[in-house]
Amino acid sequence: DIKPQTSGSNNASLVVLGYTTPTVNLNVQSFSDNNGGYAEATLNGTPVQVGFSKPNEEGSNEITYLAGEGIETVGTVPETYQTTYASNERELISIQDDGGTTLSSDALLSSLDLSAGSLSPVFSSSVIAYTAAVPNTVTSITLTPVKDHANAVLQMKVNSGTWESIESGTASRAVSLNEGVNTIAVKVTAENTTTVKTYTMVITREAGVVSTNANLSSLSLSGISLSPVFSNAQLSYTVSVANAVSSFSLTAVKENAAASIQMRVNSGNWIPVASGTPTSSVSLITGSNTIEVQVTAEDGTTVQTYTLAITRQAPSSDASLSSLGLSAGSYENMGDNHFEIIQPYAATTLTITPVTTSSYASVSYQGSGDNMPIPTNGLPINLNIESGEVPLDLIITAEDGTTVQTYTLLIYKEPAPVYTITYDPNGGQGSQIIEEYSTSPINLTPNSFTKSGYIFMGWSSTQGGAVEYSDNAIYSGGADITLYAVWDMAVTYWYDSWSASVTGGNVNYTATQSAIPDSSTQTLRLDYNNNGASGGSGVPTQIWTFTANASTSGTMYFNWHVSAYHMYSGAQFTLQFFYGATTVDLQPNITTNGWFELNSAAPFVVNLTQGQAYGFRVIGSNTDSNSILYGTVMIYGQVLPNLALGKEVASSSMEANFTPTYAVDGATTGSYWASLNDVTSPQWISINLGAVKTVTEIKLYWEAAATTYRIETSNDGTNWTVLGNTLTAGANYSTDTLTGLNVQTQYVRMSADGTKGTAGVALYEFEVYGY
């Protein structure tokens, strides 16, 4: 029991939430009276006075301490009571320290800041009423209060809302601001829970400017173009659409976000339109349609209406054909809805795409005739015509569904083309028929042209060009062509008593043999043009000889061709070149079985001395009685040609009318190239041989000789290599001959250091020999 007494004590345990030590021991020593007041007690050993409302009567009933509600006994343990202090009723407790520390009554703020606007007056802890103004663009605000005492409690209330806790020194939540007056209160409750101070801020947000903008920024119709092009100031538009356009959707975009849009069709009801979003499908009637788009500004009174006059045309009766698209060939309009189409011979298929004048007309078609089935309707039309003429009817139905026109197409397949090959003697004599063909490849007609002193080498598609086709070669063709004979200078031979003939510049040696006897000591028989035989015992030998004269002396090259049949392995033969005691095996130990052909891999080049005898021979042997060898051998020779003749030429400079082309025109007197009139400056002249050649000899015919010079070679015309050493030129009007070169190059250049003449360097002719 707790009751008034003058001595003794009643103990209770008091729990005060929020304190560092939440549980304290309360020793009630005496009461001042029985009807309320305070009791003498100690709190954790410190004398205190505890206020209370009224003690209970004797017994074990609950007792309420302190003034007000909030502290109640828990349980009914005699003499000792547990009291609990609710945190939200802390302000109802008053505990005074007799001679100790009193709880703080500081309910002030040390600072108060707004995220926008300024307080008026300037904040002071003692001033509790403030005003502030913000522009309309500020739609929310935060406040940051800082309490003066650490144990004070802060709360905030916006307009007529409820109190909510806020933290000291931390920005509050964003508070939305209405246009006009907004009241925000900050309440500070001191530590003693009884001292309270409320700071009030009246914040005025300026009213916004109400827009009068009733413009659209864009207006468009699906599949329909406006006329004129849209402009926000242009309110009226006219549009004409085909009958096939039966509906559309409209997209309108307002300039001001606060404006509103509505639309009506043909004086119907107004319906809202979402800015930037296509409307649902709008139907069009045939004839006139009026579409109104109305924009109401934010102020609610400013209105602007855009009007679209759309005319939907009646169905078209146009069933005409505008043109025909063809995958190959051509067509001609013959009139009266009749077209003729030519399909090229090379085209295996033909695709026809009819184009109608009205894009809303439809096309069907059907074939007729014995050589083409009726095709399936559908565009484009794909045909495969092998030959002859094929008719096809196009049926065009107009948009109105009743107007129909039929067009007749006659499709012809071109016959196989006939191409011609014209043979040009290119300086030779004789005639050769023009060859016609329609399919390729074909064999070219064997050459029938001749040119005195020249060998026929083959055919070229350009005059003066290199050989592209050999005699009787296969030609793939596919177009008309002129082939030019390619000639090379031939050598004339003088022979021994057999006096072999020379035809067309070629010297042919034909050996015919039926069999080799079964003894190696027997004679190998070789017949010259079937005009006799020669041979001997031991190793069979056949010889052809000639003596070099003025026409055949100098550098020459020889080629050979062997066509023979060889059975088994007992027989063999070797093709040799010889002069004096020198022998060169051109094709040694030929033992290939069956029919075979051998050609010289590269020309055999030799310098012939006038008066010297030279010869070719075939030597053979046989050790097998079953072996057979027979066939033909052909040898032809040629003086090395001047590779520079007529070729592309360039020079460092030239005097007027003395161009570098004169140095390659074949004339060793008369015409010449001359550099500028400068006796000391370096000068050069270069020749493009057209391809990489083997150069064996160079001749320079001076008109005005260089002092010293170099011969240079290149395969690209840019990077040059000096051939040998710097040379001293001969006298004016002399000839320098350089032999034994054997260098492969496409470009040859003579670079002079100066001239022995009184003007520039000059050359009658710049000759380059080789193969």
For 427-458, give the secondary structure using H, E and C.
CCECCCCCEEECCCCEECCCCCCECCCEEEEE
**Per-residue confidence (pLDDT) for residue 666, from 0 to 100:** 84
- Using DSSP's 3-state secondary structure scheme, residue 90 falls into helix
CA pair distance 76, 61, nearest whole angstrom: 7
Instruction: Judge contact between 627 and 544, C-beta under 8 A.
Output: no
Which range (23-32, 69-78, 220-229) has the least confidence? Answer: 69-78
3-state helix, strand, coil in the chain (%, to 5): 0, 50, 50
Phi, psi dihedral angles at 647 (to 5 degrees): -85, 170
Query: Where residue 550 falls among pLDDT bands split at 50, 70, 90?
Result: low
Triad 231, 232, 236: Cα angle to 5°: 70
**Per-residue confidence (pLDDT) for residue 629, from 0 to 100:** 56
Per-residue tokens: 411: 């499709």
For 467-516, give the secondary structure using H, E and C.
CCECCCCEECCCCCEEEEEEEEECCCCCCCCCCCCCECCECEECCCCCCC
What fold, for 109-205? Immunoglobulin-like (2.60.40)
CA pair distance 457, 450, nearest whole angstrom: 11
CA pair distance 770, 643, nearest whole angstrom: 7
- pLDDT: which is higher, 672 or 565: 672
Which range (245-254, 448-457, 540-549, 586-595) has the least confidence? Answer: 540-549
Chain centroid to CA 723: 48
Q: How many CB atoms lie within 10 A of CB 109?
A: 20
What fold, for 321-413? Immunoglobulin-like (2.60.40)
**pTM exceeds 0.75:** no
CA pair distance 49, 61, nearest whole angstrom: 23
CA pair distance 227, 239, nearest whole angstrom: 6
Residue listed under structure tokens 């063999």: 572
CA dihedral 369, 373, 374, 376 (to 10 degrees): -160
- pLDDT: which is higher, 598 or 35: 598
Instruction: Indicate the average pLDDT of the chain.
Output: 76
- Domain residue ranges of the chain, discontinuous segments joined by +: 10-97, 109-205, 216-312, 321-413, 419-489, 508-639, 648-770
**Per-residue confidence (pLDDT) for residue 600, from 0 to 100:** 76
Triad 329, 334, 337: Cα angle to 5°: 105
Provide CATH code, domain 419-489: 2.60.40.4270
For 325-379, what is each residue's pLDDT tens digit? 898 889 999 888 999 988 888 788 888 889 999 888 888 887 754 444 444 445 6
Provide CATH code, domain 508-639: 2.60.120
Identify the burial level of 47 via C-beta atoms within 10 angstroms of its C-beta, where 0-12 means exposed, 13-18 middle and 19 or more buried. middle
Residues sharing a CB contact under 8 Å with residue 672, sequence separation 6 or more, in sequence order = 658, 662, 663, 703, 762, 763, 764, 765
Residue listed under structure tokens 């000391």: 680
CA pair distance 45, 35, nearest whole angstrom: 26
Share of the chain above pLDDT 90, in %: 42
CA dihedral 327, 329, 332, 333 (to 10 degrees): -20
Q: Is the dihedral of CA 753, 758, 759, 765 positive or negative?
A: negative
Instruction: Judge contact between 316 and 398, C-beta under 8 A.
Output: yes
DSSP state of 376: P
- Kindly indicate whether the domain formed by 216-312 is annotated with CATH number 3.40.50: no
Which range (276-280, 466-470, 733-737) has the least confidence? Answer: 466-470
Query: Where residue 467 falls among pLDDT bands split at 50, 70, 90?
Result: confident
Tell me, yes or no, if the two domains 109-205 and 216-312 fold the same way. yes
Residues sharing a CB contact under 8 Å with residue 411, sequence separation 6 or more, in sequence order = 341, 343, 350, 383, 385, 389, 390, 391, 392
Residue 73 confidence (pLDDT) above 60: no
**Per-residue confidence (pLDDT) for residue 368, from 0 to 100:** 55
Residue 294 confidence (pLDDT) above 70: yes
Q: What is the largest CA-CA distance in the chain?
A: 178
- pLDDT: which is higher, 200 or 584: 200
CATH architecture, domain defined by 648-770? Sandwich (2.60)
CA dihedral 528, 530, 531, 537 (to 10 degrees): 60
Strand-pair partners of 261: 273, 295
CA pair distance 251, 241, nearest whole angstrom: 18
Residue 419 confidence (pLDDT) above 50: yes
For 365-399, what is each residue's pLDDT tens digit? 877 544 444 444 456 787 777 777 788 888 999 98
For 124-155, what is each residue's pLDDT tens digit? 999 999 999 999 999 999 999 999 999 999 99
Instruction: Judge contact between 446 and 469, C-beta under 8 A.
Output: no
